[in-house]
Amino acid sequence: MSQRVSLTQYLVEQQRLHGHIPSQLRLLIEVVARACKRIAISVNKGALGDVLGTAGSENVQGEVQKKLDIIANEVLIEANEWGGHLAAMASEEMESIHLVPNRFPQGEYLLMFDPLDGSSNIDVNVSIGTIFSVLKKPEGSKGVSEDDFLQAGSAQAAAGYCVYGPQTTLVLTVGDGVAMFTLDREQGSWVLTADDVKIPEETKEFAINMSNMRHWDEPVKRYIDECLAGEDGPRGKNFNMRWIASMVADVHRILTRGGVFLYPWDKREPKKAGKLRLMYEANPMAFLVEQAGGAATNARERILDLQPTQLHERVSVVLGSKKEVERITAYHLEAKP
C-alpha cells in the first residue's frame, strides 16, 4: 500500500520544501480543518442530534437560518478565536466582522466563511459544505476594520471548502494547485486523496437552476439553448445537466470531472448583482477553480480581479471548464461590450 500523506504532512511540505506558506497560515488551515471535522460530526448526527430544521432567526441577508447554519458558524468562530493566527473573521451569517478578543493571541490573517453552504439541502440529506477564504491583514493597518477585508480575490492566501457528502472531503489551495483530503473517520485524520487536481478544458455538462430560465439575460439563454440543441445544434454534441443547489457539491463535481456552473444575474431582482456572495462563495471557489486550470468570471470580468465594496456583496458567477467559461463570457461581452 502506498504511504498515506496527512493534511499536516502536506502543509509542512508546502511550508518547508516549497516555501509557499508561512507557519501561521499552516496552523490556521489546520484549525479550520479541525472545525470542519466537528461540523461533520453534527451534520452526520442529523435528526439524532436535533440539528435539522430552522432556528427561528434570519441572517443579515434576510434569509431564514437553519440550526446547522448557526452551529457551523459557532464552531468556526470558537475554534479560530484562540488559534493565535487570526486578527478577525467575517461570515455570511454575521452582520459585521468578528474581532479576535484581546484575551486571545492576535495573528495577522483574516478569515471569511460560508459556514454552511447549501442550507436548503440540510433537511433532505443531500451534500452540503463549508467554504472559507484567507486574506492577510493589510500592512500597517492599526486594529482591524471591515475595510481590511475588502481585498480582491487575487490577494487570497488560501481558500478551500469541505463537502459533507457520502465522504467528507476537504479541498484546499494555498496558491500552488489544488489538493483533496478525505476524512478517515476511524483515525480522525485528513488523508491526501488527490493532488494537482485539474479541470478538463472542455465539457459536456452544465449546472444552472433551469427554473429561472424566464428571468435570464439573453447571453445566458443563448448559451443554454445551444447546449440543449445537442448534436444537431451549433455545439455538435449532447450536453448533460446537473444542479445540486449546494454550490460546494456542484463545484466539487466540476473539480472532479469537469463542467460549468452558472448562477448569473437575472431579472428577478435587477439591482442585485447575483445570488451568490463574492467574499464567502465566489472568491474562494474562483481561486480553487483557477488553480485547477479552470476559469471564473462574473460573466464579463475575472472574479478574482473584482474590487469588493462591501462585505456581503453579491456577484454573478460563471465558473468551471475554461473553454466554456470563455464562451459564456464572450457571449456577454458581445451583447453588451
Ligand X SMILES: O=P(O)(O)OC[C@H]1O[C@](O)(COP(=O)(O)O)[C@@H](O)[C@@H]1O
CB 166 within 8 A of CB 138: no
Distances (CA, A) of 6 to 3, 131, 247, 250, 282: 10, 20, 26, 25, 28
316 binds ligand X per the rule CB under 6 A: no
Size of the site for ligand X (CB under 6 A): 12
Query: According to CB under 6 A, which one of 247, 285, 289, 318 is a site residue for ligand X?
Result: 247
Residues 330, 328: Cα–Cα separation, whole Å: 5
Query: According to CB under 6 A, which one of 79, 117, 219, 332 is a site residue for ligand X?
Result: 117
Task: Write down the least CB distance from residue 215 to Mg ion, Å.
Answer: 20
57 binds ligand X per the rule CB under 6 A: no
246 binds ligand X per the rule CB under 6 A: yes
**Which amino acids are annotated as binding site for Mg(2+), given as ranges?**
92, 114, 116-117, 281
245 binds ligand X per the rule CB under 6 A: yes
Query: According to CB under 6 A, which one of 91, 119, 316, 329 is a site residue for ligand X?
Result: 119
The interface mask with Mg ion, positions 38-77, x = CB under 5 A, is: ----------------------------------------
290 binds ligand X per the rule CB under 6 A: no
**Which amino acids are annotated as binding site, given as ranges?**
92, 114, 116-120, 209, 275, 281
Residues 266-295 that bind Mg ion (CB under 5 A): none
256 binds ligand X per the rule CB under 6 A: no
Stretch that binds ligand X, among 11-19, 43-51, 114-122, 301-309 (CB under 6 A): 114-122
The strand pairing partners of 162, in sequence order, are: 130, 170
What type of residue sits at position 183? L
Residues 91, 194: Cα–Cα separation, whole Å: 28
Residue ranges in the chain assigned as alpha helix (H): 7-16, 23-45, 67-81, 146-149, 218-228, 247-257, 283-291, 322-335
> Which residue in 145, 74, 155, 152 sits closest to 113, CA to CA?
74
Torsion of CA 128, 281, 277, 203, to 10 degrees: -90
CB 110 within 8 A of CB 149: yes
Q: Footprint of ligand X on this chain (CB under 6 A)?
A: 92, 114, 117-120, 209, 245-247, 263, 275
